[in-house]
Amino acid sequence: MIIVMSPQATREQIDNVERKLSQLGYRTHPIYGDVKTVIGAIGEKRLEDTQSILSMPGVENIVPIMKPYKLASRELKQIQTIVKVGNCRIGDSKAVVIAGPCAIESYESYVSVAKQVKESGASILRGGAYKPRTSPYSFQGLEEDGLKIMAEAREITGLPIVTEVVDTRDVELVASYCDMLQIGARNMQNFRLLREAGASGKPVLLKRGLSATIEEWLMAAEYVISSGNQNVVLCERGIRTFETATRNTLDLSAVPVVKEFSHLPIIVDPSHSTGSWKYVSALSKGAIATGADGLIIEVHPDPNCAMCDGPQSLKPNKFSVLMQELGSVAIAVGRTI
Ligand code: PEP
Ligand code: MN
């Protein structure tokens, strides 16, 4: 439930309500607004509790949160969340582009592509050191050596880095290198991993599961937030449908739907959703036009020789052209890129 404090409520009255809620066994999440403060209270709601809270000084109203996700909901927090990753602000008026190869393959290739995507305007570097491959015989990533290469690329370019963690046992190590943890589509409902990623304190990039509904995805975000970490960015990366012409089907309607139901930023991955570099440009533009807060795009210096996801990777020169073209789309919807 949401406890709406009156605009005149004093700090002491707000603190008293929070204390009372805690005594009654609720977890509290105050949101201090310009005009009024609201307190999210998560727990089993009892009628006698609402009555006693409602009678406290400074309380204006109590509103139930109808959605099963509470902390991720727009009902609780109307203002858009901005997630800071290094100097970068995801959810603000500048759409953020994350770029880099699917996997870290070597120091030379990673650093060279990192410099090129920076030059073209990317704000965050991506790359996988632990790869969740469909086949156990496919390249699984360079693991900690890959993380070291990413950290060196951050030193050289000054850009923050995001990388996937696939196992609870690796969360601490991966978090010690990166600026943002990625939870991949295949792990969206790995609840222990979500909690550990949440507890790491690093911002979390939460990809939508292969067959997850938007509600299930927001419930996964709720796991991270309820572990004490508000810094969640959602990533639509295509879902399973009957269509086989593309690797997955990009659900662009998820962007405005998530904007309606949640305060969390949402970005789009046109690479994994299509599986083909040919469609990345069109869908990137579509995503920005739809209101996405950013993009995550795979870029590889030599896609034909990539160890992972070459067919969907843009060459650096094509990425550069796309970045220029995205500028006018962003302006058309009141943003920059
Ligand atoms: C990736 O970003 O490289 C990746 C494996 O993505 P997804 O989890 O969306 O398949
Ligand atoms: Mn990939």
Q: Is 185 in the pocket of ligand 1 (CB under 6 A)?
A: yes
Going from the Cα of 227 to the center of ligand 2, the distance in angstroms, rounded, reads 28
Task: Delimit the domains of the chain by residue range.
Answer: 2-63, 83-332
Provide the token pair at 5.
């404090």
Q: CA nearest 320: which of 111, 97, 119, 161?
A: 119
The fold of 2-63 is Alpha-Beta Plaits (3.30.70)
Burial (0-12, 13-18, 19+ Cβ within 10 Å), 155: exposed
Determine how many CB atoms are found less than 10 A away from the CB of residue 249: 16
Q: Which CATH number fits domain 83-332: 1.10.4030.10, 3.20.20.70, 3.20.20.20, 3.60.15.10?
A: 3.20.20.70
Please provide the DSSP assignment of 74-143 as one string. Answer: TTT--SPP-EEETTEEETSSBPEEEEE-SB---HHHHHHHHHHHHHHT--EEE-BSS---SSTTS----T
Is the shortest distance between the CB of 142 and ligand 1 below 6 Å? no
Ligand 1 within 6 A of CB of 270? no
Q: How far apart are CA 72 and CA 216, in angstroms?
A: 12
Which residue's CA is minimally distant from atom 6 of ligand 1?
184
- Rounded-to-integer distance, Cα 249 and Cα 87, Å: 32
**Distance, CA of 260 to CA of 84 (rounded, Å):** 21
Q: Which atom of ligand 1 is nearest to the CA of 131?
A: 5
pTM comes to 0.95
Can you give the length of the chain in residues?
A: 337
Using DSSP's 3-state secondary structure scheme, residue 193 falls into helix
Show pLDDT as tens, one digit a residue, over the chain (337 residues). Answer: 999 999 999 999 999 999 999 999 999 999 998 889 999 999 888 889 999 999 999 999 999 999 999 999 999 999 999 999 999 999 999 999 999 999 999 999 999 999 999 999 999 999 999 999 999 999 999 999 999 999 999 999 999 999 999 999 999 999 999 999 999 999 999 999 999 999 999 999 999 999 999 999 999 999 999 999 999 999 999 999 999 999 999 999 999 999 999 999 999 999 999 999 999 999 999 999 999 999 999 999 999 999 999 999 999 999 999 999 999 999 999 999 9
What is the atom index within ligand 1 of the atom nearest the CA of 126? 2
| Domains 2-63 and 83-332 equal at CATH topology level | no
- Rounded CA separation 180/267 (Å): 14
